[in-house]
Amino acid sequence: MFLYEKLVSDVSDFTVDVEKPADFDVFWEETIRLAKDKLEFTLEQVPFPLKARVFKANLVGYGDTEIKGWYLLPENEDSTYPLVLTFHGYRGYASSPFYFAQYLLNGMAVLAFDLRGQVGQSGDEGYASGHVPGWMNQGLDSPYDCYYRRLLVDCMRMVDMAKSLPDVDASRIAVKGASQGGGLALAVAALCDVALCVAGVPNMCYMEYGVLNSSSSLKEVAEYLKLYPEKAPAYFTTLRYFDNVNLADRIKCPVLVSVGMQDPVCLPKTVYAAYNKIMAPKQILAYPFSGHDGGGALFEQAAMEFILEHFNL
């Protein structure tokens, strides 16, 4: 066995139990109800140099925050389409319709939003305590007020919006993303009825380990706790509600995951910790020579093949 092969074999069976808070199920029942309490959105068709129907989307998210994005459809108006709901990476945004042309070419609709408070046009405000620069450590004193809860309420409403669209086949909705987006894809697949999940190098997995070892977003928590170490028990308890290690066994749809064995951001151990808890049909693609790109174009091709196969396109 070569050393690069051993990188995978040494961690591929890794499992860990993250203690669930006593009210874990109650918390998610209440949060799912909150997400379903309101579904309000508007669509505005706009001209765009792409052979597709392009709409600006405006969704009412948690706390009546406006969440802005794109809704894209192939040109042909005589059909209903499977839809890919995409979630961008941390410090990202929904970019341009050009970025999603590969789905349109393969006969799929796309829904993509700027996640709240990050680089795009969606807002976010009103936390009770301070934080270091970034978003994910906002409100971590309480699971009911933290950024992740707001974010997941938004994402669950995105799924409900997708299912309500007349040009969309509600039985063929995939959630897809990488890094932060991959973590959200897993969490949304656990909390909503969707057909497929594609999670590239997912974050939000074994998060306590990530806080102590990751070089990216979870490091924000460590930076804050360096100043206020007395808050560590509350912060780590809150993260357990949103950890995909605890949510993974709720997933019912087929799942495709990627892991970069050189990844310093979404560490291989954390990805496998969540992946090995998934009980649904699943596949993981490990890339021994990749970092946070998680296979890059190779994985994007595999993901498209996975979606096309399951959507019979």
**pTM recorded for the entire structure:** 0.95
- Give the separation between CA 236 and CA 171, rounded to whole angstroms: 36
Q: Which of 243, 263, 290, 293 is catalytic?
A: 263
Question: Which pLDDT does position 91 carry in this prediction?
Answer: 84
Summarize the confidence of residues 273-295 as an average pLDDT: 97
Q: What is the pLDDT of residues 55-66, one digit of tens each?
A: 999 999 999 999
- Give the separation between CA 111 and CA 163, rounded to whole angstroms: 11
Which CATH number characterizes residue 152's domain? 3.40.50.1820
Least confident segment among 38-47, 136-145, 202-211: 136-145
Least confident segment among 67-71, 137-141, 301-305: 137-141
**Domain carrying residue 7:** 3-310
* Confidence category of residue 136, pLDDT binned at 50, 70, 90: confident
DSSP helix/strand/coil, 57: strand
* Helices 147-164/232-242 angle, 10° precision: 10
310 is catalytic: no
User: At which residue do the structure tokens 């409100």 appear?
Assistant: 139
* Tokens representing residue 198 in the block: 């594609």
Q: Which of 88, 124, 154, 292 is catalytic?
A: 292
292 is catalytic: yes
Whether 98 shows a pLDDT value over 80: the answer reads: yes
Whether 129 shows a pLDDT value over 60: the answer reads: no
Q: What is the pLDDT of residues 140-171, one digit of tens each?
A: 999 999 999 999 999 999 999 999 999 999 99
Domain count, the chain: 1
Question: Which pLDDT does position 228 carry in this prediction?
Answer: 93
Q: Which of 179, 214, 217, 290 is catalytic?
A: 179
